[in-house]
Amino acid sequence: MRLQDRVVLITGASRGVGAGVALACARQGAHVALAAKTVDPNPRLAGTLGEVASQIRALGREAIVLPTDVRDSDQIEKMVADTVGHFGRLDALVNNAGAIFWSSVADWPVKRFDLVFGVNVRAAFLASRAAIPHLRKQGGHIVMMSPPIHPEAAPGKGPYLVSKIGMTMVAMAIDAEESAVSVCSLWPITAIKSAATENLGMGSAKDWRTVDILADATVAILAQDPRQAKFRAWLDEDALRTLDGVTDFVKYRCDPDHEPGPWSIELVDPTWKR
């Protein structure tokens, strides 16, 4: 129970990585505040906040549901205030909500640009700013689901990666500015099975890992002493290897007979090697 009685606020928590992180934190003893837009079932996308909350409560932990459009600054402020009002504290914020769109710059619609920046870097900035005063009180963590920085990744994904790398830069700044708040970014080495990978045609099961690898890496990061931990743009394998001594990643395969290649890390650092 590495996160016993800590309070973790997670955006984009109705499905995918956010739901996986929420359940992993609950299994380690945390109470969880779940924020996302999806409250009612969506025929196109499985998962709701209520379903995730029920699974957390079945583990014996407490969960609250916070319907939130992270593009709305007032709703972001209310999300953090309601979390602290209910639990009396906040120990960690996971900025997981994200919007993805890929295109050349010349073909990138302005509305898509605004959506990607609003859901990614702007929302992460707003949520972090609102959370910092509460995290200072006992020491806390912020985790950004964002990558290391590598310019060769830009073609075809420029604005998207700028928004994601912007999250990493915000993380670096907060970590340097706040002595009691540890801020890191976290990014997968392989593609992760999700609605995005399936809908965008990012390979098949043999190319994917489950959300559990990011969930377990998040727990490893949150289990550190926030007053001692320093900023790092973690890759999921490196976080698990360095912090928890994990060297076997077979259990995270979607296809048990195939080890996924380093698909997504090639987007951010083509020189990286296992």
Percent of residues in the chain assigned helix, strand, coil, to nearest 5: 45, 15, 40
Catalytic option among 87, 125, 160, 263? 160
Burial of 203 (0-12, 13-18, 19+ CB in 10 A): middle
pTM of the model: 0.94
Is residue 125 within 8 A of residue 80, CB to CB? The reply is no
Domains within the chain, CATH numbers bracketed: 7-268 (3.40.50.720)
Whether 252 is catalytic is no
Tens-binned pLDDT, residue by residue, of the chain (274 aa): 999 999 999 999 999 999 999 999 999 999 999 999 877 777 777 789 999 999 999 999 999 999 999 999 999 999 999 999 999 999 999 999 999 888 888 998 999 999 999 999 999 999 999 999 999 999 999 999 998 876 555 566 778 888 999 999 999 999 999 999 999 999 999 989 887 777 666 678 898 999 999 999 999 999 999 999 999 999 999 999 999 999 999 999 999 999 998 765 555 554 545 5
CA atoms within 13 A on the CB side of 156: 4
